[in-house]
Amino acid sequence: MGHVDSGKTTLAKALSTVASTAAFDKHPQSKQRGITLDLGFSSFSVDIPEKLKSKESKFSDYDTLQITLVDCPGHGSLFRTVIGGSRIMDMVLLVIDICKGIQPQTAECIVLADITCPKHMLIALNKIDLLPNEGTTKATTIEKFQRRLRKTLQNTSFADVPMIAVSALDEAEKSQTLKTLIDCLVDQVYCPHRSAEGKFLFYVDHCFNVKGQGTVLTGTVISGSVGVKSVVEIPTLNEKRKIKSIQIFHKAVESIAQGSRAGICVAQFDTSRLERGVVCESNCLQKIQYGVVSVNAIVHYKHPLRSNSKFHVTVGYETVIGKFIFFHCEPHKCHCAPAGQFALESNYLKQEDENLPDTNDSSHPLHRYAVVQFEQAIFCFNQAQYIASKLDQPLEVSTCRIAFHGQMLQMMPSNEHSANWLKKLPVFKRKIKRGTICNILDQHTVAVRGMFGKTSSLVPFLGCKVTLLNEHRTEGIIEGWFGKSGKIKVRFPNPLSEQFMQTVTASSANTGDSSRTVLLEFQASDEDNEEEYEEESATSANESGDNDDDEEYAGSTKITMNVFTPRLDSVVKAGLAFSKKIATDFILEGKVFVNGERVFKKGYEVCSRDTIDVLLGRSSECEKFVDVARLILLNFSNTKGGTKLSIVARRWKRLTVNEYTSYV
């Protein structure tokens, strides 16, 4: 990896003894433009290092070790190819032009390597033949550069990685510097985890036809194993093929397993239908559009992570746009499964801004997650690694484009409706209601006003804890209504002080005294979560067009709308085919009336037989009248499955009335 023109391809060619797929800029466009456009593959072999020859080592029966080089493009516009290629690497050889130092894509490659190959890096300081060679100048320059680079890497997992000065072109220095590089590389070689168990998954990077044989798919085995005559699936083509033969760097083999770089020959098909992708065993992958992912933020990404933001999401070699809703476990109440795994039986809080709540309690860390909606469905598997980035940022802006990364933890089943699946996710909003003590009923009981409206439902809050914001932060519980004006009764297990009761009795509730404020903190189901992803399926879903014989409904259309809740904003949006923003604006501007009463609250709950009028403006036919859009709600019922509320209503898109003229 490295920035464009740092000498990656030249170095790969100098190191390699076997050229393979797209090696050394074979592509005509690469030769014409003078830059690497695609992943190129080549290899060389060395004697097995002594440290890998132990009896317990899987290499104990081998004499030579093959090292495969993946030559990645360096131009910023091709970085998605680099991200895809990084998933098949066990170690990174970072190539830096010592004359130019760290450049934008050099920095991005370091970030990417820290995600995919932490601690496993070797740095080649290339083009030392271009440095001044007078006395000790060259050696001093290299030493200074290494010190500066070491300081840059001190906050990464690569603080102590080897740095080798090389020249891939100059004959005088090429032989010795490349030998030093190879010796250092061999010394850094480790035994990566490999297993033939699990489902076969093969990332395809190139695809071409061979006359008389079939179609060859070159790539890397990510998991499992496969052999000749096995049947594999190409999910994106919805086709299955039998493997005719397998080669590893031009040598025929009968089977391959995790980590193998190979070419698979199958019955011929049109290669234009598959450039890159996945080949796997049957039913290994699932086509999804929604999922829950873990989120590990990149500290070098300088923009906030806000819900509803869109990012380029790379899974394997596929990059698609995804929209994210971020959430996290509760502070000091982390019940996530081992290693921060998402658990449906736990509760999570929706992230209200770009920052996680502050916590210094290492025993209860905060884990961040997200619900992701892909703009187009992708083939994926549980625990698949992904990287989210902003690849549409201008290249001239030298900032990190990699935003965060993680794993796919939950996938929405293809046979389940998105609204049902989203509703099952235990993601809540933290909400606060405030009220003021207006009456002292006895030493343990008070009346509180302002916390609920008189039409609110109190049932979900009965028995909930509240806190009195006095110096003792006295806790109480909600017992029920007090009268019919919206006041509630709160009981405190510990008696209130005489001084406090006298103060409340002697002063008005409007004095602004915070010590008589009662606070209710609770978690509410994130009803907007579904709406942020999926429009209400209520916009004239079932227009019948019949007007019946009832004159009350003359000129109206009978509709059935399906909404998640009977909130005023949802019903106005769905029933009148408004956007969410327009419906909200009408309410907040005081242009929505329920049963003739002006309503400013978006969350106001409507019910059967309510009449909703939306003020459109003065009538063009007569200035003494106004035009409204009207809904009369006739009947409420649950949809099949109970996930939505079905409302039968009468709708007038424009109706001239003589009410509300004073509001125009």
* pLDDT (0 to 100) of residue 275: 81
Q: Mean pLDDT over residues 109-135, rounded?
A: 92
Burial of 275 (0-12, 13-18, 19+ CB in 10 A): exposed
Give all strands (DSSP E) within 189-229, no chain letters. 201-210, 214-223, 225-227
Amino acid identity of residue 425, one-letter, is: L
* pLDDT (0 to 100) of residue 213: 93
- With tokens 């994210």, the residue in question is 324
Of 344, 348, 343, 351, give the one whose Cα is nearest residue 329. Answer: 348
Going by their DSSP bridges, the two strands 92-97 and 251-253 should be labelled as unpaired
Q: Mean pLDDT over residues 537-551, rounded?
A: 43
Burial code of 566-590, b = ≥16 C-beta within 10 A, e = fewer? bbbbbbbbbbbbbebeebbebbeee
Per-residue pLDDT reduced to its tens digit, 178-233 = 999 999 999 999 888 888 899 999 999 999 999 999 999 999 999 999 999 999 99
- With tokens 């008005």, the residue in question is 508
State the DSSP code for 297: E
Of 64, 11, 10, give the one whose Cα is nearest residue 34. Answer: 10
Residue 528: pLDDT above 50?
no
For residue 545, list its beta bridge partners.
Answer: none
Higher pLDDT, 51 or 165: 165
Distance of CA 602 to the CA centre of its chain: 29
* pLDDT (0 to 100) of residue 357: 57
359: helix, coil or strand?
coil
In angstroms, the CA 575 to CA 649 distance is 8
pTM of the model: 0.72
Q: Mean pLDDT over residues 575-591, rounded?
A: 90
Q: pLDDT confidence of 527, banded at 50, 70, 90?
A: low
* Least confident range of 190-204, 389-403, 563-577: 389-403
User: Left if phi > 0, otherwise alpha if psi is -120 to 50, otherwise beta: which for 204?
Assistant: beta
* Cβ contact 408:495 at 8 Å: no
Residue 338: pLDDT above 80?
no
Q: Mean pLDDT over residues 25-50, rounded?
A: 77
Going by their DSSP bridges, the two strands 318-329 and 368-380 should be labelled as antiparallel
Domains located in the chain, CATH noted: 8-188 (3.40.50.300), 201-280 (2.40.30.10), 286-425 (2.40.30.10), 429-527 (2.40.10.190), 535-663 (3.10.290.10)
Q: pLDDT confidence of 85, banded at 50, 70, 90?
A: confident
Going by their DSSP bridges, the two strands 225-227 and 255-257 should be labelled as antiparallel
* pLDDT (0 to 100) of residue 532: 40
State the DSSP code for 605: B
Per-residue pLDDT reduced to its tens digit, 254-275 = 999 999 999 999 999 999 999 8
Q: pLDDT confidence of 544, banded at 50, 70, 90?
A: very low
In angstroms, the CA 275 to CA 578 distance is 42
Radius of gyration, CA atoms only, the chain: 33
Per-residue pLDDT reduced to its tens digit, 432-485 = 889 999 999 999 999 999 898 887 888 888 899 999 988 888 999 999 999 888
Q: pLDDT confidence of 640, banded at 50, 70, 90?
A: low
Q: Mean pLDDT over residues 393-397, rounded?
A: 76
Tokens of 559: 């509709």
| Residue 283: Cβ within 10 Å count | 9
* pLDDT (0 to 100) of residue 146: 95
